Amino acid sequence: MKKLLLVAALFCGVYSAQAIKIIYGPYLQAVTDTEATIVWVTDQQAMSWVEVAPVDGTNFYNVERPKFYQTYLGKRVFGTEHQVRITGLEPGKKYCYSVSSKEVLGTRRHRLHYGDIVTARIYGRRYPGFNTLDPKKESTQFIVLNDIHAKQEKMDALLNTFEDGKTEMVFYNGDMVSQVPNVEILFNGFVNASIERFARQIPFYLVRGNHETRGVFATKFLDYFPTPTGKTYFTLKHADTFFIILDGGEDKPDSDLEYYETAVYDQFRREEAEWLKKVVESEECKSAKHRIVLMHMAPIGGKNMWHGPKYSGELFLPILNKANITLMLGGHTHRYSYNKPEETGANFPILVNAHNTAAKVNINNNGVKVDMIDMTGKVVKSHIFR
């Protein structure tokens, strides 16, 4: 009889055997002040769960740790893509976790068939952990990359801006790949590099760019990059800063032949705008010291703008202009640009990061400082916003 294998993996190391393997991950997603989601992929169908413990000096096995399962409509589900949402966490606290996948050998009617269990031994280990976001924290550092287009050398060089112990979040501001024909391009293009450098303990947030909308696998975006809202637009609050992450859709009109009659992004953006109206009126947004917007295709360029950023600007700017926005961070053009309010129709600055620089952002009592750092580690531009 084929053996059933329980694969257990701490986020800081994967434990597996021949029968079933974790081939991608695990990695952190959708981390907020009270929640986090762990994502990983196995090579066989499996039932999975996550155990979580606070980093409080006690051994992981000191007490029974709570288990969180992947469920749908009240039922645990199995497959090869595993996404487990952890709830009930405390703001600004540190947690460690382990992930487990139990292979499903077969089904008969409502029955699932399993075999033996093999568990990794992790006794006595010290576990580095992840921190939940903390709205009351006084300072933070994060980095922003965009337009990598699955170029590994560029990815590796720009990730050198990540500082252990200082960088608390990473934003990928769109076009990390050129299209999404399969799952492999996502992981080989940028996710695996993120996992190796930081993503088991520091979250990244993927802002969908126009190229992430392309390819037959693009509709599975949220399977690998879940968000707090279950949409590709969402908000976060950390270090007294309110982040608004927007999805500008595609760059050309929906009727363009390139989309083969699949695009309905104008309707998508209109729905997003209705959501945005409620967001900027929320107390969470109004009470923040800073408000930062991230959107891949910033509405810049005047008469030279293509339809996507132009229509996004028409919808989003009148709403954002009432919200006392500190800064918008964009990408898409592959070129650096600093766009003053009087030049764009926005009443806040729009800073566009190039494809070959990382934007390192430090927020503290002195304001929001952005350093644009090239692939050699040199600071090529700096800005301060208050």
Tokens in use for 191? 């996710």
Q: Are residues 146 and 30 in the same domain?
A: no
Q: Are residues 340 and 208 in the same domain?
A: yes
Q: Are residues 126 and 38 in the same domain?
A: yes
Q: Are residues 20 and 43 in the same domain?
A: yes
Q: Are residues 237 and 303 in the same domain?
A: yes
**Residue 126: predicted pLDDT:** 52
**Angle at CA of residue 222, ends 357 and 34, nearest 5°:** 85
**Residue 18: predicted pLDDT:** 60
**Residue 118: predicted pLDDT:** 31
Cβ contact 20:5 at 8 Å: yes
Residue 1 lies in a domain: no
Last residue of a domain, one of 92, 109, 131: 131
Q: Are residues 277 and 378 in the same domain?
A: yes
Q: Number of structural domains, the chain? A: 2
Residue 373 lies in a domain: yes
- CATH code for position 303: 3.60.21.10
Q: Are residues 87 and 105 in the same domain?
A: yes
Q: Are residues 300 and 152 in the same domain?
A: yes
Cβ contact 230:247 at 8 Å: no
Phi/psi of residue 210, nearest 5 degrees: -65, -30
**Residue 174: predicted pLDDT:** 98
Question: What range defines the domain where residue 334 resides?
Answer: 140-385
- CATH code for position 93: 2.60.40.10
DSSP code per residue over 264-333: -HHHHHHHHHHHHHHHHTSHHHHT-SEEEEE-SS-S-SGGG--HHHHHHHHHHHHHHTTTT--EEEE-SS
Cis check: omega of the bond before 26, within 30 degrees of 0 = yes
Q: Are residues 186 and 103 in the same domain?
A: no
Reported pTM: 0.93
Residue 242 lies in a domain: yes
Tokens in use for 204? 């990244």
**Residue 196: predicted pLDDT:** 94
Q: Are residues 105 and 227 in the same domain?
A: no
What separation in angstroms does the CA of 366 have from each of 138, 290, 363, 369, 386? 11, 11, 8, 8, 7
Q: Are residues 153 and 291 in the same domain?
A: yes
Phi/psi of residue 213, nearest 5 degrees: -85, -5
Please give the average pLDDT of every successive group of 10 residues along the chain, which has 386 residues: 38 50 92 97 91 90 92 93 96 93 88 57 59 97 98 97 96 98 97 96 98 96 98 98 98 96 97 98 98 98 95 98 98 98 94 98 96 98 96
Q: Are residues 272 and 375 in the same domain?
A: yes
